[in-house]
Amino acid sequence: MVYFLSLLPMAIIGALYVWFLRLSAKWILKISLSLKLAWGFFAAVIALIVLNKAFLPHESTTVTAVVGVTMHLVFGAAFFGRLAVDREGKSPGFIGGLKMIATAMGLLAVLLAFLFLVQLFVLEVPSS
């Protein structure tokens, strides 16, 4: 039971990220992204994170983060540039996928920064 509760934050972040993907697809590409495609991309991103940690175990956190974000952007642009289609059956291409994935990542970054600031300023942490 405790193991499943430890996965709860990842599930919440995944649900928010899938929602941000669908929202950015609607805003940027003017298409309706399926839930199956969005959750499939989230699972692929988790696999990319694991591979990033496996192939760069001795690198600094900065290098790992830069490589991870770059892989996420390039893979997302290629993934949605080919698999996302609009009502006419046209795919948005690499640049359209890059715009969509960058918007979704930006929305998630803004949300996480906001939650960090709430935790930093609202919650009273006793100083020692």
pTM: 0.81
pLDDT value of residue 77: 92
- Residue 26 in tokens: 């609607």
Position 35, amino acid: L
User: pLDDT for 60-103, tens place per residue?
Assistant: 889 988 998 999 999 999 998 888 887 788 888 899 889 999 99
Query: How much is the pLDDT for 119?
Result: 85
Instruction: For the chain, give the DSSP string.
Output: -HHHHHTHHHHHHHHHHHHHHHHHIIIII-----HHHHHHHHHHHHHHHHHHHHH-TTS-HHHHHHHHHHHHHHHHHHHHHHH---TTS---HHHHHHHHHHHHHHHHHHHHHHHHHHHHHTS-PPP-
Residue ranges of the domains in the chain? 35-108
**Could you tell me which residues come within 8 angstroms of residue 75 by beta carbon, excluding any fewer than 6 positions away?**
44, 45, 48
- Of 31, 44, 49, the residue nearest 93 (C-alpha): 31
pLDDT bin (cut points 50, 70, 90) of residue 127 is low
Query: Which residues fall within 8 angstroms of residue 52, CB to CB, at 6 or more apart?
Result: 64, 67, 68, 71
